[in-house]
Amino acid sequence: MDNLFVSNHPLIKHKLTKLRDKDTDPKKFRELIREIAGLLAYEATNDLQVSPKDVETPMATAKGFELQEKIGLVPILRSGLGMVEGVWELMPSAEVWHIGLYRDERTLKPVEYYNKLPVSPSVGLCLILDPMLATGGSAIATIEVLKRWGVKRIKFMGIIGAPEGIGLVHREHPDIPLHLAAVDDHLNEIGYIIPGLGDAGDRMFGTDY
Ligand code: URA
């Protein structure tokens, strides 16, 4: 499928296996989410624009580069928050924008309850962060908010995707690249990814009662 990038990196595969493990505790879970997010961001940003910039070393002038594009991180609350730090470590000047969506348990459709975007976009590229691309509803709703807001370049970064969600996002927004660590088998009747890792938010924030 065009625009679907599933990482083949051994570090990501190893960390994802630990992340899925039901015995991984919330502290380790958060650490793994952060690390995987950083590794995925490294792969997802390999086409960022740079401009030439000379730099003085202690010895002479060297030809170098600087990033041209301003980047916005858009975590889908709540589990997308766990991915922010890992990406931010690589690009500390990125801006973080919050859009709150929750999934209606009955319709499985996203409901927007919080949106703190400024009037016009101040960034060139937005990375949407959500560990679980399940039904695709939240991803599509977020993409639509960002497109309406005027963002020119958008990428989605997730950790596990279900074929159903990937297919839907791709059908509705074929222009949006999807960067994932794995594609799983299917969604169950209540919208969970199988085999997946359970509820990412609950496992991250320790609310898995
Ligand atoms: N959200 C999760 O946290 N887990 C799933 O399996 C699906 C959606």
| Interatomic CA distance for residues 161 and 172, integer angstroms | 16
Output the pLDDT for position 118: 80
Whether 202 is catalytic is: yes
| Interatomic CA distance for residues 116 and 83, integer angstroms | 19
Q: How, if at all, do strands 153-157 and 110-115 pair?
A: unpaired
Output the pLDDT for position 93: 93
Output the pLDDT for position 17: 98
Cβ within 8 Å of residue 74, ≥6 positions away: 80, 96, 97, 98, 99, 126, 127, 128, 129, 142, 146
Nearest to 47 by CA among 67, 77, 28: 67
Question: pLDDT tens digit string along 74-100?
Answer: 999 889 999 999 999 999 999 999 988
Whether 30 is catalytic is: no
Output the pLDDT for position 115: 82
Output the pLDDT for position 107: 79
Question: pLDDT tens digit string along 96-107?
Answer: 999 887 667 677
Q: Is the pLDDT of residue 137 over 80?
A: yes
CA of 101 to the centre of ligand 1 (A): 14
Output the pLDDT for position 61: 98
Q: Is the CB of 200 under 6 A from ligand 1?
A: yes
| Interatomic CA distance for residues 1 and 167, integer angstroms | 9
Output the pLDDT for position 180: 98
Residue appearing with tokens 């202690």: 58
- Average pLDDT over the chain reads 93
Ligand 1 atom 2: residue of nearest CA: 199
Query: Which tokens belong to 209?
Result: 């009662």
CA of 106 to the centre of ligand 1 (A): 15
Output the pLDDT for position 71: 95
The residues with which 193 forms a beta bridge, in sequence order, are 187
Q: Is the CB of 161 under 6 A from ligand 1?
A: no
Question: pLDDT tens digit string along 29-61?
Answer: 999 999 999 999 999 999 999 999 999 999 999
Candidate list 54, 61, 107, 148, residue with the active-site label: 107
Q: Which atom of ligand 1 is nearest to the CA of 203?
A: 3
Q: Is the pLDDT of residue 168 over 90?
A: yes
Ligand 1 atom 4: residue of nearest CA: 199
Domains of the chain, by residue range, sit at 4-47+75-205
* H/E run at residue 83: helix 81-88
Band (209; pLDDT cuts 50, 70, 90): confident
Contact 77/98 with Cβ under 8 angstroms? yes
Output the pLDDT for position 108: 66
Question: pLDDT tens digit string along 139-150?
Answer: 999 999 899 889
In terms of C-beta density within 10 A (0-12 exposed, 13-18 middle, 19 or more buried), how is residue 41 classed? buried
Q: Which fold has domain 4-47+75-205?
A: Rossmann fold (3.40.50)
Ligand 1 atom 5: residue of nearest CA: 192
CA of 192 to the centre of ligand 1 (A): 5
| Interatomic CA distance for residues 202 and 209, integer angstroms | 8
| Interatomic CA distance for residues 57 and 36, integer angstroms | 33
Question: pLDDT tens digit string along 4-31?
Answer: 999 999 999 999 999 999 999 999 999 9
Output the pLDDT for position 49: 93
Whether 106 is catalytic is: no
**What SS3 state is found at 4?**
strand
CA of 206 to the centre of ligand 1 (A): 15
